[in-house]
A and B are shown apart, each in its own frame.
Chain A
Amino acid sequence: MLHNLRQLLRYRGLIQSLVARELKARYRGSVLGFFWSFINPLLLLLIYTFVFAVVMPGQRKSEDGPYALFMFCGILPWTWFSSSLSEAANVLISGGNLIKKVLFPAEILPIVTVLANMIHFFLGLPILALFLIYYRAPLSFGELLWFPVIVLVQFVLTTGLALILAALTVHFRDIRDILSNVLTFWFFATPIIYQMKDAPASGRQFLNLNPFTHLAISYQEVLFYPGPFGHWKWLLGTGAGSLVLFLAGYFLFDRLRDSFAEEV
């Protein structure tokens, strides 16, 4: 397993060009092309803002700051997370040709999926930056240093889950159908469109079990709330857990590897 992990480094060039291909192919043939990477999160933001600020305003207090910005901080990383997972569940099956016909380490496929979606996430960041500047968000340099750490933790967590989903879906195609429902539930079980402090006390313990809660809160604290960044212990804990999950996921993937070429 460790040998295989090290092997992955040798395939950097391949991963790189596959991610580039993924990005190029996605918008090939559309008029706006790469702009969709900007437009999509923007549209998503408009929809949520409309629903939660106009249709059902609830008891939001103005001292909480601009709601659209708050939501955006969580939705961008969530989109990365959820589209990575739903694509990863399918990736070994749709890439079956590669696995069956070319000598090719299969784990590259889910990893490429996560990375391609990460690039989309990065492309959405300039929009977020514009909003941050427009709303004069209380940013501080010290807090922003945490941003890459949060991204890294999310990457490890997402990749670990992606490996597990990709490997199991080969054997249980049902996962694809289950997953979309699970992700919807997961979205609402994460403080993205509501604040953690608005959740009922009993629910908060439950929310704390959700690793993405800590990622969302970290993003919000770093970008939205004034400092200092107090959630770092939770973040590092989540990071450690994610690393274990990643290793477990890779182990599972490695164990099932030989079955892919025959089952896909």
Chain B
Amino acid sequence: MSAMNAIEVRNVSKVYRRYSRRRQFATLKSALLSGSLISDLKADETFQALNDVSFSVPPGRTYGIIGPNGSGKSTMLKLVAGITRPTSGTVTVNGRISALIELGAGFHPEISGRENVFINGIMLGLSKKEIQKRFDEIVEFAELKDFIDAPVKTYSSGMYMRLGFAVAIHVDPDVLLVDEVLAVGDEGFTHKCLDKFAEFRRRGRTILLVTHSLGLVERFCDDALWLDKGQVKGTGDPRRVVGAYVTDVERGEEAMLAAADQRAKEAVSAPDGAGAEAVAGQEEKPADPVQEPEGPPDMFQATEGRWGSREVEITKVELLDESGAAAHVFQSGERVTMRLSVKAKEPVTDFVFGVGLFNADGVCCYGTNTEVEQLFAESLTGEGYVDLMIDSLDLVEGTYKLDAAVHKRDGYPYDYHRLLYTFRVKSRTKDVGIFRPPHRWAFSQNVKLKSNVA
């Protein structure tokens, strides 16, 4: 039953109006003279912030909204709060709302914290008596006992925020709307806020939470909604929704890294059209390393990032995932193959293949070559490939760069690719360092821990 839901959002769209340049320069006078006063108030360009969004939150649930910047999360919250109205569709909220959208939004800097508490409380829907009753509690929560009679303009931003939060939370709403407010405040206060939210939940109140902190959504929410470009991309169990969202973000990063790689490759490839086309063609046939039309290589070209005689050439460097498809984003622990496509102008007998792995700080995480691993060159003719297979990519989360090289045993460079290839490692575990040894935990019987991994 919709009437039972604490929040009911049905087919809501929100169109923001944008005005053309003509409108910005128009004045009241010109509007009156041309009789366009009313028509000027109408928009000539629109921006769809939300598109046909529906969801409902039963009372007592904690509901999280996630999504990238500009996906319409805050607009959604403002609609639920009633600050703006939907262009179409309906928003129904049952019970008293308190919105933690901007803390202390109504504070007047010149008057004391005490007076501001009263006015802010009244704005949020409390009566004077109710505030009187809760006043001490509010001040104590905000930790502002000594400063409550000082004008608010003398407060630090942390004090300001704490007071705003304390008032809003003590409104004791049935529905609490929270917009990323936990990002501010020190560790201790953040904990206090989370405790307060937990208390809210225990008392059966409804919370609508907009945040970028996916961990918070997973830990804290009963349901989650994923918005992207104003549309619902997923809804339901927070772990599932967060998982889908993270995967999507990875896909986006993948595309971005691919584009960056593309630029790097174009920068080092021969400056004629055929070479660039060949590189562009790679994206469509990523698993086809053999097809490689080539422009005439400039033998002694030593652009930054790539140098060498090119007697032997690395025509392509790819990272392949388990299915053999080229990728740029990997999960920590995944099986990865680094494939160097190589081509020898003339048959050669003196060659070494090497690979280096660097993290974002430029620290070499790992480097190896065929020679140090006791593999000695016999012959190389024509085109082929070299694979370095890593069974488990034991790296912590981060962005990494790749070196690839082929050179003579004495170091004479055939083709050196320096930090030209970027990939990203993702991990659900937020461990740190440059290397993740395969590991597990064990405890004696009197040490008890509970796993939070689903």
Contacts and interface: CB of A to CB of B under 8 A. Distances in A.
A127 interface: no
Given A103-B82, A256-B41, A28 B111 contact: yes
Given A24-B111, A171-B41, A261 B83 contact: yes
Given A98-B106, A262-B84, A172 B99 contact: no
Contact of A103 (B27, B83, B108): B83
Interface of B: 16-17, 27-29, 31, 40-41, 78, 81-85, 97, 99, 101-102, 105-106, 108, 110-111, 115, 118-119, 122-124, 127-128, 151
B151 A28 contact: yes
Interface string A22-38: 00110011000000000
29 contacts: A13-B127, A14-B119, A17-B118, A21-B111, A21-B115, A24-B110, A24-B115, A25-B108, A29-B110, A97-B105, A97-B106, A98-B106, A100-B83, A101-B101, A102-B83, A102-B99, A102-B105, A102-B106, A103-B81, A103-B97, A104-B106, A104-B123, A168-B28, A172-B28, A174-B27, A175-B28, A261-B84, A262-B17, A262-B84
A18 interface: yes
Interface in A212-261: 256, 258-259, 261
A178 interface: yes
A99 B28 CA distance: 23
A101 B83 contact: yes
Contacts of A259: 17, 41
B124 A102 contact: yes
- Sorted from nearest, which 10 A-B pairs have the closest CB atoms? A101-B105, A172-B28, A25-B110, A101-B102, A28-B110, A103-B82, A97-B105, A14-B122, A261-B84, A174-B27
Interface string A142-161: 00000000000000000000
Interface of A: 13-14, 17-18, 21, 24-25, 28-29, 97-104, 168, 171-172, 174-175, 178, 256, 258-259, 261-262
Contact of A98 (B16, B81, B105, B151): B105
Contacts of A100: 83, 102, 105
A105 B124 CA distance: 12
Contact of B119 (A21, A99, A168, A172): A21
Contacts of B85: 258
A104 B99 CA distance: 12
A21 to B, nearest CB: 6
A18 to B, nearest CB: 7
A46 to B, nearest CB: 29
A23 B387 CA distance: 78
Given A98-B106, A101-B83, A101-B105, A172 B31 contact: yes
Nearest to A27: B110
B118 A103 contact: no
Given A29-B110, A97-B102, A174-B29, A14 B123 contact: yes
Contacts of A102: 83, 99, 101, 105-106, 123-124
B7 to A, nearest CB: 14
A18 B119 CA distance: 7
A36 to B, nearest CB: 15
Most interface-central of A98, A100, A102, A261 (chain B CB within 10 A): A102
